[in-house]
Amino acid sequence: MANPRINDKRYLPRWAVRNRVFYKLEQDPRTREGHTRDLSCSGARVRTNSSLEPHQKIHMTIRLNEETVVSLHGYIVWLRVIADETEMGVNFINTSPQTQEVILQHAFEVNRDQVKTHWFDGWDGQKDSSSDKTSQEPSS
């Protein structure tokens, strides 16, 4: 089986998680339910039993754990029908840095090794002295 991270060039990676989601569409006051299949600071893949249309604005509440819930706004980018469920890709919009931090912390708790590999892969812990020379201000 191929490693999905090889072709995934996202700056903010997604982590495979299963979190309960409640959501409302912009033009529909009904609260619907689903669950995440993956999650990042910039979007999510969600499965639901509801019929949806792409490009709809969506308000989501994701329960990360028993104590932590995040509220997010976004829009549906793509849809795929799988058996009797609909899977949707959601891009988040105007997500606060605090909410992004909560999501990243959750990802770190769920899969610490994957987070460290993504953010620090190839970093050997040594300071790059060449970048210091180019970033220094000339002295007077």
Instruction: Provide the 10 A C-beta neighbour count for residue 62.
Output: 25
Task: Report the 10 Å Cβ neighbour count for 46.
Answer: 25
Residue 116: is its pLDDT beyond 60?
Answer: no
115 or 63: which carries more pLDDT confidence? Answer: 63
Strongest mean pLDDT among 8-22, 57-71, 110-124: 57-71
φ and ψ at residue 123, rounded to 5 degrees: -85, 125
CB 68 within 8 A of CB 55: no
**Structural domains of the chain in order of their starting residue, each with its CATH number:** 19-106 (2.40.10.220)
> How many CA within 13 A on the CB side of residue 127?
3
8-57 residue pLDDT tens: 444 456 678 899 999 999 989 899 999 999 998 899 999 999 989 999 99
The pLDDT score that the predictor gives to residue 68 is 93
Q: Are 46 and 32 in contact (CB under 8 A)?
A: no
pTM: 0.71
Phi-psi region for residue 37, left (φ > 0), alpha (ψ -120 to 50) or beta? Answer: alpha
* Maximum CA extent, the chain: 70
